[in-house]
Chain A
Amino acid sequence: MPGLLVLKIFLGVAIVAIAAMVAMALYGASSPVPQEVVFSKGYAVRRYWLVAVLVGAAAVFAISVPHFPYPSAATTGRHYTIIARQYFFALPAVIPVNTPVVFDVTSADVNHGFGIYNPRGRLIGQVQAMPDYVNHLPFDFHVPGRYTVRCLEYCGIGHAAMQGSFFVR
Protein backbone atom coordinates (compact mmCIF):
# COMPACT_ATOMS: atom_id res chain seq x y z
CA MET A 1 0.00 0.00 0.00
CA PRO A 2 1.50 3.38 -0.95
CA GLY A 3 3.18 5.08 1.96
CA LEU A 4 1.44 8.41 1.53
CA LEU A 5 -1.95 6.75 1.77
CA VAL A 6 -0.85 5.02 4.95
CA LEU A 7 0.29 8.38 6.30
CA LYS A 8 -3.16 9.88 5.71
CA ILE A 9 -4.89 6.97 7.43
CA PHE A 10 -2.47 7.22 10.30
CA LEU A 11 -2.88 10.95 10.79
CA GLY A 12 -6.66 10.61 10.62
CA VAL A 13 -6.85 7.83 13.20
CA ALA A 14 -4.23 9.43 15.42
CA ILE A 15 -6.01 12.77 15.51
CA VAL A 16 -9.29 11.07 16.44
CA ALA A 17 -7.54 9.10 19.19
CA ILE A 18 -5.79 12.15 20.60
CA ALA A 19 -8.98 14.20 20.50
CA ALA A 20 -10.95 11.45 22.21
CA MET A 21 -8.42 11.06 25.01
CA VAL A 22 -8.08 14.79 25.57
CA ALA A 23 -11.85 15.17 25.57
CA MET A 24 -12.26 12.41 28.13
CA ALA A 25 -9.77 14.15 30.39
CA LEU A 26 -11.34 17.60 30.06
CA TYR A 27 -15.05 16.81 29.86
CA GLY A 28 -16.72 17.40 33.20
CA ALA A 29 -13.37 17.93 34.85
CA SER A 30 -14.76 20.64 37.06
CA SER A 31 -17.59 18.46 38.36
CA PRO A 32 -15.98 15.30 39.73
CA VAL A 33 -18.07 12.21 40.35
CA PRO A 34 -17.26 9.11 42.39
CA GLN A 35 -15.18 6.41 40.75
CA GLU A 36 -18.06 3.89 40.73
CA VAL A 37 -20.17 6.15 38.55
CA VAL A 38 -17.50 6.45 35.88
CA PHE A 39 -16.52 2.80 36.04
CA SER A 40 -19.98 1.27 35.82
CA LYS A 41 -20.62 3.28 32.64
CA GLY A 42 -17.13 2.58 31.37
CA TYR A 43 -17.36 -1.18 31.80
CA ALA A 44 -20.60 -1.22 29.80
CA VAL A 45 -18.93 0.68 26.97
CA ARG A 46 -15.83 -1.47 27.14
CA ARG A 47 -17.65 -4.61 26.01
CA TYR A 48 -18.58 -2.98 22.74
CA TRP A 49 -15.17 -1.46 22.43
CA LEU A 50 -13.54 -4.87 22.79
CA VAL A 51 -15.83 -6.37 20.17
CA ALA A 52 -15.22 -3.45 17.85
CA VAL A 53 -11.45 -3.72 18.18
CA LEU A 54 -11.46 -7.48 17.67
CA VAL A 55 -13.74 -7.30 14.63
CA GLY A 56 -11.66 -4.46 13.22
CA ALA A 57 -8.42 -6.39 13.65
CA ALA A 58 -9.90 -9.53 12.10
CA ALA A 59 -11.22 -7.53 9.17
CA VAL A 60 -7.90 -5.83 8.49
CA PHE A 61 -6.14 -9.17 8.68
CA ALA A 62 -8.57 -10.77 6.25
CA ILE A 63 -8.23 -7.90 3.82
CA SER A 64 -4.45 -7.93 4.03
CA VAL A 65 -3.87 -11.64 3.39
CA PRO A 66 -4.60 -11.67 -0.38
CA HIS A 67 -2.10 -8.83 -0.79
CA PHE A 68 0.84 -10.61 0.84
CA PRO A 69 3.88 -10.23 -1.43
CA TYR A 70 5.16 -13.77 -0.94
CA PRO A 71 5.66 -16.17 -3.83
CA SER A 72 3.33 -19.14 -3.96
CA ALA A 73 3.31 -22.42 -5.81
CA ALA A 74 1.36 -20.66 -8.55
CA THR A 75 3.99 -17.94 -9.02
CA THR A 76 5.41 -17.94 -12.51
CA GLY A 77 7.50 -15.54 -14.51
CA ARG A 78 10.91 -15.01 -15.91
CA HIS A 79 13.61 -15.15 -13.20
CA TYR A 80 16.22 -12.44 -12.73
CA THR A 81 19.14 -12.95 -10.39
CA ILE A 82 20.02 -10.02 -8.14
CA ILE A 83 23.28 -10.11 -6.21
CA ALA A 84 23.92 -7.44 -3.61
CA ARG A 85 27.33 -6.78 -2.14
CA GLN A 86 29.09 -3.99 -0.26
CA TYR A 87 28.21 -1.50 -1.82
CA PHE A 88 26.50 -2.16 -5.13
CA PHE A 89 23.95 -4.35 -6.88
CA ALA A 90 24.41 -6.66 -9.84
CA LEU A 91 21.16 -5.93 -11.68
CA PRO A 92 19.61 -6.76 -15.04
CA ALA A 93 19.52 -3.74 -17.35
CA VAL A 94 15.98 -4.12 -18.63
CA ILE A 95 12.83 -5.71 -17.26
CA PRO A 96 9.82 -6.23 -19.53
CA VAL A 97 6.72 -4.19 -18.78
CA ASN A 98 3.38 -5.86 -17.97
CA THR A 99 5.04 -9.25 -17.59
CA PRO A 100 5.23 -11.23 -14.38
CA VAL A 101 8.84 -11.58 -13.27
CA VAL A 102 10.56 -13.09 -10.24
CA PHE A 103 13.65 -11.54 -8.68
CA ASP A 104 15.97 -14.12 -7.11
CA VAL A 105 17.70 -11.95 -4.56
CA THR A 106 20.79 -12.86 -2.60
CA SER A 107 23.92 -11.32 -1.15
CA ALA A 108 27.59 -12.09 -1.58
CA ASP A 109 28.63 -10.74 1.81
CA VAL A 110 26.40 -9.22 4.52
CA ASN A 111 22.66 -8.58 4.73
CA HIS A 112 21.34 -5.95 2.33
CA GLY A 113 17.91 -4.85 1.22
CA PHE A 114 16.56 -4.72 -2.32
CA GLY A 115 14.17 -1.76 -2.39
CA ILE A 116 12.52 -0.80 -5.68
CA TYR A 117 11.69 2.90 -6.28
CA ASN A 118 9.46 3.79 -9.21
CA PRO A 119 10.33 6.55 -11.71
CA ARG A 120 8.57 9.04 -9.43
CA GLY A 121 10.84 8.08 -6.58
CA ARG A 122 8.27 6.17 -4.49
CA LEU A 123 9.17 2.92 -2.78
CA ILE A 124 6.95 0.23 -4.32
CA GLY A 125 8.26 -2.95 -2.76
CA GLN A 126 11.29 -4.68 -1.37
CA VAL A 127 12.87 -7.87 -0.14
CA GLN A 128 15.93 -8.65 1.94
CA ALA A 129 19.15 -9.76 0.28
CA MET A 130 20.73 -12.33 2.56
CA PRO A 131 23.96 -14.27 2.44
CA ASP A 132 23.41 -18.06 2.14
CA TYR A 133 19.77 -17.59 1.11
CA VAL A 134 17.83 -16.65 -2.00
CA ASN A 135 14.62 -14.66 -1.60
CA HIS A 136 12.14 -14.87 -4.47
CA LEU A 137 10.24 -11.64 -5.06
CA PRO A 138 7.41 -11.83 -7.63
CA PHE A 139 6.70 -8.52 -9.36
CA ASP A 140 4.74 -7.10 -12.24
CA PHE A 141 5.66 -3.65 -13.61
CA HIS A 142 2.94 -1.67 -15.34
CA VAL A 143 4.72 1.65 -15.81
CA PRO A 144 7.75 1.92 -18.06
CA GLY A 145 10.68 4.07 -17.02
CA ARG A 146 13.85 4.13 -14.97
CA TYR A 147 13.56 2.44 -11.61
CA THR A 148 16.03 3.02 -8.79
CA VAL A 149 17.14 0.30 -6.41
CA ARG A 150 18.30 1.29 -2.94
CA CYS A 151 19.76 -0.79 -0.16
CA LEU A 152 17.23 -1.16 2.63
CA GLU A 153 19.26 -3.00 5.24
CA TYR A 154 22.19 -1.35 6.95
CA CYS A 155 25.32 -2.91 5.50
CA GLY A 156 28.24 -0.70 6.51
CA ILE A 157 29.84 2.60 5.75
CA GLY A 158 28.65 2.79 2.14
CA HIS A 159 25.06 1.87 2.89
CA ALA A 160 23.47 5.23 2.04
CA ALA A 161 25.23 5.35 -1.30
CA MET A 162 24.38 1.81 -2.30
CA GLN A 163 22.03 2.06 -5.26
CA GLY A 164 21.49 0.94 -8.80
CA SER A 165 18.86 1.15 -11.48
CA PHE A 166 17.14 -0.72 -14.29
CA PHE A 167 14.73 0.17 -17.05
CA VAL A 168 11.25 -1.20 -17.50
CA ARG A 169 10.23 -1.27 -21.16
Chain B
Amino acid sequence: MNGRLLLASLVLLATVLFALAPLYRHGDVPIAIHHLLHALILFGAALAALLFTWPGAPRAPGRVPWLLITLLSPLAAMLLMWPSEYSVFEREPALHALQHLGLVLFGFLTAYAGQRFAAGIGIAMSATMLLMGLLAAGGFGVSPPLQVH
Protein backbone atom coordinates (compact mmCIF):
# COMPACT_ATOMS: atom_id res chain seq x y z
CA MET B 1 0.00 0.00 0.00
CA ASN B 2 1.54 3.26 -1.03
CA GLY B 3 1.46 6.57 0.79
CA ARG B 4 -1.26 8.08 -1.34
CA LEU B 5 -3.69 5.25 -0.74
CA LEU B 6 -2.88 5.31 2.95
CA LEU B 7 -3.57 9.02 3.09
CA ALA B 8 -6.80 8.56 1.15
CA SER B 9 -7.93 5.88 3.58
CA LEU B 10 -7.07 8.04 6.55
CA VAL B 11 -9.02 10.98 5.14
CA LEU B 12 -11.99 8.74 4.47
CA LEU B 13 -11.78 7.24 7.94
CA ALA B 14 -11.61 10.64 9.59
CA THR B 15 -14.57 11.82 7.54
CA VAL B 16 -16.66 8.82 8.49
CA LEU B 17 -15.79 9.24 12.16
CA PHE B 18 -16.69 12.89 11.95
CA ALA B 19 -19.92 11.95 10.20
CA LEU B 20 -20.84 9.62 13.06
CA ALA B 21 -20.54 12.44 15.58
CA PRO B 22 -24.29 12.67 16.27
CA LEU B 23 -24.06 9.22 17.89
CA TYR B 24 -21.77 10.37 20.69
CA ARG B 25 -22.18 14.12 20.84
CA HIS B 26 -25.40 15.90 21.23
CA GLY B 27 -25.83 19.62 20.76
CA ASP B 28 -28.19 22.26 19.64
CA VAL B 29 -26.60 23.52 16.43
CA PRO B 30 -28.22 26.18 14.24
CA ILE B 31 -29.07 25.12 10.70
CA ALA B 32 -26.51 27.42 9.10
CA ILE B 33 -23.72 25.82 11.12
CA HIS B 34 -25.13 22.44 10.26
CA HIS B 35 -24.80 23.23 6.57
CA LEU B 36 -21.20 24.26 7.06
CA LEU B 37 -20.37 21.06 8.93
CA HIS B 38 -22.03 19.10 6.16
CA ALA B 39 -19.93 20.93 3.62
CA LEU B 40 -16.93 19.76 5.60
CA ILE B 41 -18.12 16.16 5.35
CA LEU B 42 -18.62 16.54 1.60
CA PHE B 43 -15.15 18.00 1.33
CA GLY B 44 -13.54 15.15 3.24
CA ALA B 45 -15.31 12.50 1.22
CA ALA B 46 -14.49 14.16 -2.09
CA LEU B 47 -10.88 14.64 -1.08
CA ALA B 48 -10.56 10.98 -0.23
CA ALA B 49 -12.01 10.01 -3.60
CA LEU B 50 -9.64 12.33 -5.40
CA LEU B 51 -6.68 10.82 -3.56
CA PHE B 52 -7.83 7.31 -4.41
CA THR B 53 -8.15 8.01 -8.10
CA TRP B 54 -5.10 10.25 -8.42
CA PRO B 55 -3.74 10.42 -11.10
CA GLY B 56 -4.81 7.23 -12.79
CA ALA B 57 -8.01 8.50 -14.36
CA PRO B 58 -8.44 8.08 -18.12
CA ARG B 59 -7.29 11.02 -20.21
CA ALA B 60 -10.10 11.36 -22.72
CA PRO B 61 -13.72 12.01 -21.74
CA GLY B 62 -15.41 8.78 -20.88
CA ARG B 63 -18.83 7.30 -20.55
CA VAL B 64 -22.25 8.81 -19.95
CA PRO B 65 -23.12 6.95 -16.71
CA TRP B 66 -20.11 8.36 -14.86
CA LEU B 67 -21.06 11.79 -16.07
CA LEU B 68 -24.61 11.42 -14.82
CA ILE B 69 -23.43 10.18 -11.45
CA THR B 70 -21.07 13.07 -10.92
CA LEU B 71 -23.83 15.44 -12.02
CA LEU B 72 -26.57 14.00 -9.81
CA SER B 73 -24.61 13.24 -6.65
CA PRO B 74 -24.21 16.87 -5.55
CA LEU B 75 -27.94 17.36 -6.06
CA ALA B 76 -28.68 14.31 -3.96
CA ALA B 77 -26.37 15.68 -1.28
CA MET B 78 -28.22 18.99 -1.25
CA LEU B 79 -31.55 17.21 -0.96
CA LEU B 80 -30.17 15.24 1.97
CA MET B 81 -29.54 18.56 3.68
CA TRP B 82 -33.31 19.23 3.73
CA PRO B 83 -33.51 21.76 6.55
CA SER B 84 -36.67 20.66 8.34
CA GLU B 85 -35.29 17.23 9.13
CA TYR B 86 -33.30 18.41 12.15
CA SER B 87 -36.33 18.44 14.42
CA VAL B 88 -36.58 14.71 13.79
CA PHE B 89 -32.84 14.16 14.06
CA GLU B 90 -32.79 15.72 17.51
CA ARG B 91 -34.81 12.77 18.69
CA GLU B 92 -33.16 10.17 16.45
CA PRO B 93 -29.36 10.52 16.46
CA ALA B 94 -29.03 7.31 14.46
CA LEU B 95 -30.99 8.77 11.58
CA HIS B 96 -28.80 11.83 11.76
CA ALA B 97 -25.68 9.70 11.51
CA LEU B 98 -27.23 7.85 8.58
CA GLN B 99 -27.86 11.15 6.82
CA HIS B 100 -24.22 12.03 7.37
CA LEU B 101 -23.14 8.73 5.87
CA GLY B 102 -25.29 9.57 2.87
CA LEU B 103 -23.36 12.80 2.54
CA VAL B 104 -20.11 10.87 2.67
CA LEU B 105 -21.40 8.62 -0.07
CA PHE B 106 -22.53 11.39 -2.38
CA GLY B 107 -19.47 13.50 -1.73
CA PHE B 108 -17.29 10.52 -2.55
CA LEU B 109 -19.30 9.62 -5.64
CA THR B 110 -19.16 13.14 -7.02
CA ALA B 111 -15.39 13.15 -7.03
CA TYR B 112 -14.91 9.51 -7.91
CA ALA B 113 -17.37 9.36 -10.80
CA GLY B 114 -16.09 12.69 -12.06
CA GLN B 115 -12.52 11.45 -12.19
CA ARG B 116 -13.61 8.22 -13.79
CA PHE B 117 -15.38 10.23 -16.46
CA ALA B 118 -12.28 12.28 -17.18
CA ALA B 119 -9.28 13.64 -15.33
CA GLY B 120 -10.11 17.04 -13.82
CA ILE B 121 -13.88 16.71 -13.89
CA GLY B 122 -13.96 15.14 -10.44
CA ILE B 123 -12.03 18.12 -9.14
CA ALA B 124 -14.30 20.60 -10.88
CA MET B 125 -17.51 18.93 -9.74
CA SER B 126 -16.22 18.57 -6.18
CA ALA B 127 -15.38 22.25 -6.12
CA THR B 128 -18.84 23.26 -7.27
CA MET B 129 -20.42 20.84 -4.81
CA LEU B 130 -18.43 22.39 -2.00
CA LEU B 131 -19.55 25.81 -3.18
CA MET B 132 -23.17 24.70 -3.00
CA GLY B 133 -22.68 23.24 0.45
CA LEU B 134 -21.08 26.39 1.81
CA LEU B 135 -23.58 28.73 0.20
CA ALA B 136 -26.47 26.72 1.58
CA ALA B 137 -25.58 28.21 4.95
CA GLY B 138 -26.62 31.60 3.65
CA GLY B 139 -30.29 30.89 3.28
CA PHE B 140 -31.39 27.29 2.76
CA GLY B 141 -33.83 26.94 5.62
CA VAL B 142 -32.20 29.98 7.16
CA SER B 143 -34.11 33.23 7.69
CA PRO B 144 -32.21 36.49 7.85
CA PRO B 145 -31.62 38.00 11.29
CA LEU B 146 -34.50 40.22 12.36
CA GLN B 147 -34.06 43.80 11.30
CA VAL B 148 -34.36 46.78 13.59
CA HIS B 149 -36.29 49.64 12.09
Contact = CB atoms under 8 A, between A and B. Distances in A.
A/B contact in complex, CB under 8 angstroms = yes
Interface of A: 79, 81, 104, 106, 132-134
Contacts of B149: 79, 81, 104, 134
A132 to B, nearest CB: 5
Contacts of A81: 149
A87 to B, nearest CB: 23
B147 interface: yes
Interface in B99-149: 143-144, 147, 149
11 contacts: A79-B149, A81-B149, A104-B149, A106-B147, A132-B143, A132-B144, A132-B147, A133-B144, A133-B147, A134-B147, A134-B149
B interface: dominant SS: loop
Interface string B37-65: 00000000000000000000000000000
Most buried by B among A79, A106, A132: A132
Contacts of A106: 147
Contacts of B144: 132-133
Contacts of A104: 149
Contacts of B147: 106, 132-134
A81 B143 CA distance: 22
B52 to A, nearest CB: 44
A27 B147 CA distance: 62
Contacts of A133: 144, 147
Contacts of B143: 132
A81 B144 CA distance: 20
Nearest to B145: A132
A36 to B, nearest CB: 38
B76 to A, nearest CB: 29
A133 B145 CA distance: 9
Nearest to A134: B147
A148 B143 CA distance: 32
A106 B146 CA distance: 12
A19 B139 CA distance: 49
A132 B143 CA distance: 8
B138 to A, nearest CB: 13
A79 to B, nearest CB: 8
A79 B147 CA distance: 15
